[in-house]
Amino acid sequence: MNQGSYFLAGLAVAAACVVSSCSRANDQAEVNASVQNYVAAINAKDINGIMAYYSPDESLLVFDALPPRQYVGAAAFRKDWEGFLAAYPGALHAEVSDWKTETEGNLAYGHGIFRTNGPDKDGKPLELTVRVTDVYRKINGKWLVIHEHVSWPVDLATGKADLSSKP
């Protein structure tokens, strides 16, 4: 190989690295935007907007903080969301914090803290803080959750969940 060939090979490698880095950054931005759309849908109590965050078929698996232990498929999880929204007959406020995302190819994961609050059916404040980890797959150009794990810390002395979960 002559000096010009080495230069062109090095340039090709550098360009591939830049393209890969840009692609990963774009993927992370897309995942993070979908999280923000999801939070907005929760605040609007828009069940279709909420479910647009998830894989729409039976491939979805969710380990939720509330029984039952797991939901298999979007139809089952939709019913869970409908019940959750019904617990807040008035305004509902949701927010996410400490969200981190990593992507690799057509898979990604994200994790952070979700908080919801608003008056319950009796008008009493209902605030929940949970830890969430989502696994995404890029399906038809869109990042969708295929697996979700929701939990909160448990006080081992009492066996009770820490629903406000402060750091």
Q: Which domains, and CATH codes, for the chain? A: 3-161 (3.10.450.50)
User: How high is the pLDDT of residue 17?
Assistant: 46
The C-alpha atoms of residue 64 and residue 106 are separated, in whole angstroms, by 24
pLDDT in tens, 28-49: 999 999 999 999 999 999 999 9
Q: Please name the residue that has the structure tokens 């909160």.
A: 152
pLDDT in tens, 60-88: 999 998 888 899 999 999 999 999 999 99
pTM of the model: 0.84
3-class DSSP state of 41: helix
**CB-CB contact of 94 with 116 (8 Å):** yes
User: For 98, left (φ over 0), alpha (ψ -120 to 50), or beta?
Assistant: left
